[in-house]
Amino acid sequence: MICPLLGPAAPDSLDDGACVPAPGEHLVLTTDSYVVSPPFFPGGDIGRLAACGTINDLAMQAAEPTYLTLGVILEEGFPLRDLARALQSLAGVLAETGMRVAAGDTKVVERGKGGGLFLNTTGLGVRRYAADGRVSSAQPGDAVLLSGTIGDHGMAVMTRREGLRMEPQILSDVAPLWGMIRELLEARLPIHALRDPTRGGLTSALCEIAAASKTGIRVRERAIPVRPPVRAACSLLGLDPLNVANEGKALIVLPAAAAERALAILRANPLGREAAIIGSVEKCPAGTALLETAIGGERQLTVPLGEELPRIC
Amino acid sequence: MICPLLGPAAPDSLDDGACVPAPGEHLVLTTDSYVVSPPFFPGGDIGRLAACGTINDLAMQAAEPTYLTLGVILEEGFPLRDLARALQSLAGVLAETGMRVAAGDTKVVERGKGGGLFLNTTGLGVRRYAADGRVSSAQPGDAVLLSGTIGDHGMAVMTRREGLRMEPQILSDVAPLWGMIRELLEARLPIHALRDPTRGGLTSALCEIAAASKTGIRVRERAIPVRPPVRAACSLLGLDPLNVANEGKALIVLPAAAAERALAILRANPLGREAAIIGSVEKCPAGTALLETAIGGERQLTVPLGEELPRIC
């Protein structure tokens, strides 16, 4: 039943192996499993999440998404119409991005031995641009751009799970970022680092860039866009929006001189309308990310410990 | 904890994305999830199974295994020493075959929402030889070779699960076949079709080749090697060894004139010592696989319905 659901993205029959022409010289491979609970949440579902997660992992390495493999692990009793909805959702994103399903596999486990629906997607991408998005390449003098509001995905899942009703409702930001990133690459902007702040949120992404590039990253809390209901839900649940997962946002690090041009390109894209320059890369303190708080203080960001948000992806 | 366990097969850090040079022009992508229960069984474990399954799927497409991505889905409470054993086992097979881990991902789900340990592996291979192993290319006049005994993997898992003790113990045949297949390819044998008789056993594989190539396949039951304890366990459980899964066997279809040379190459390899010519490809009845039974009758093979052996891989 799975192939027809995958629509234009799928070959006629989805064997567990397929031969494809090498799409280029520099390939990028990425893999992720998706176990989000619940599988349907405001603004998205596990299928859309799996497609976007893979596309965005490739995009963050400046790689054009080409082929995807799909592993489905289904618990007996999981409604087939829900499987269909999730896969149609995945197929829609792939069709939009021009990515094709190359191979697939389905396993069914007994009731009580699975979590409903798990998906694994592996992406094969090709790097056609000079930039490579490595987080280790941030340099003092760079600006740090964020493509939009943070915390939407994590709080959409979390409020649904906890039965919290926010007004207006919080929707996941889950979206495929390749189109927007490609616009930056095509403009030949000298991008030094790319990262999507998924699990662990903006905090983890900033800490990773600072640590890998041995630079000091300084961001201004006031410059970081957070929607009011996300901020309110975080307060209720005792969470910091900076630590909450996103699935449709990117951090872009590039020389300050190119920041305004990059910002204009981001804002012209529907997924980047609320993009902002949130900070800068400095020499010291090397390996550290600092937050200038809204009330004028300064604190060091540290990678969230434990699982603030289990199964948000 | 995972990278060091993967030993020489892994990069220093296993991100969920990695850039690799394109290993060749004709790539093969394959994916499979592994949910075998129990995860450790006589002769193998889920880690060895995942590595071999991926390697063999690539080998059956005449593709040299190059990179593997690894998705781990762990249920809270699954013993970490068992995870370590399974991953070391996977790493051992990869090292032996020269395949490298390119990217990985780990998800943990709550107790009761998983099946202990699930693995997903995606393989990237490169086709360097003229043969491509397509099951649709079998031709009348071809011989059908089987690389060894059948039913070992399925019955090793099944007897362990049912608590049956056989003498001698049945061991899974789980093994990486690329080395043996490469020997056939390097000898420039005119291989028409390759298939590993995994789920659904020899029966499914023969039916698939017959259907895809629109030929009639005729095999002799007496020529098909089955170990005595496997035959006995099948009798006890009411199963046909021809329908039972294998994880270290291959069907090779090539012109009859080349069959003896292929057989000699297979038998010279430790994994092919019991290889045999089990039948032939004929023109009619097109799309059908026939078994000449040991008692002189003839019956049509049909793909096993339902799940004779759930979670054997």
Complex prediction ipTM: 0.91
Same domain, A107 and A210: no
Q: How many domains does chain A have?
A: 2
Position B313 in a domain: no
Same domain, B155 and B274: yes
Show the CA angle centred on residue A53, arms to residues B12 and A201, nearest 5°: 75
Same domain, B106 and B215: no
| CB-based contact B124 A29, cutoff 8 Å | yes
Q: How long, in residues, is chain A?
A: 313
Residues of A whose CB is below 8 A from B103: 29-31, 122
Same domain, A36 and A158: no
Furthest C-alpha separation in chain B: 59
Position A313 in a domain: no
Query: Given pLDDT bands bounded at 50, 70 and 90, which one contains residue B18?
Result: confident
| CB-based contact B71 A69, cutoff 8 Å | no
Tokens in use for B196? 């590993």
Nearest CA in chain A to B133: A19
Same domain, A60 and A16: yes
- Whether the CB-CB separation of A194 and A59 falls below 8 Å is answered with yes
| CB-based contact B113 A110, cutoff 8 Å | no
The pLDDT tens digits for A8-18 are 666 666 667 78
Same domain, A123 and A149: no
- Whether the CB-CB separation of A239 and A115 falls below 8 Å is answered with no
Residue-by-residue DSSP string for B216-256: EEEEEGGGS---HHHHHHHHHHT--GGGS--SS--EEEEEG
Domain of residue A244: give its range: 135-308
Residues of A whose CB is below 8 A from B178: none
Average pLDDT estimate for A205-225: 97
The pLDDT tens digits for B250-275 are 999 999 999 999 999 999 999 999 99
The pLDDT tens digits for B59-82 are 999 999 999 999 999 999 999 999
Q: What is the CATH number of the domain that holds A300?
A: 3.90.650.10
Among the partner-chain residues A63, A102, A105, the one whose CB lies closest to the CB of B33 is A105
- Whether the CB-CB separation of B235 and B226 falls below 8 Å is answered with no
Same domain, B254 and B184: yes
Nearest CA in chain A to B33: A71
For residue B260, give the DSSP letter.
H
Same domain, B233 and B146: yes
Nearest CA in chain A to B69: A31
Same domain, A143 and A119: no
Same domain, A142 and A115: no
The pLDDT tens digits for B238-252 are 999 999 999 999 999
Q: What is the CATH number of the domain that holds B48?
A: 3.30.1330.10
Residues of B whose CB is below 8 A from A18: 28-30
Same domain, A142 and A219: yes
Q: Residue B293 above 90 pLDDT?
A: yes
pLDDT of residue A143: 98
Tokens in use for B301? 């093979």
Whole-angstrom Cα distance, residue B167 to residue B187? Answer: 39
CA atoms within 13 A on the CB side of A102: 27
Quick check: helix, strand or coil at residue A220? Answer: strand
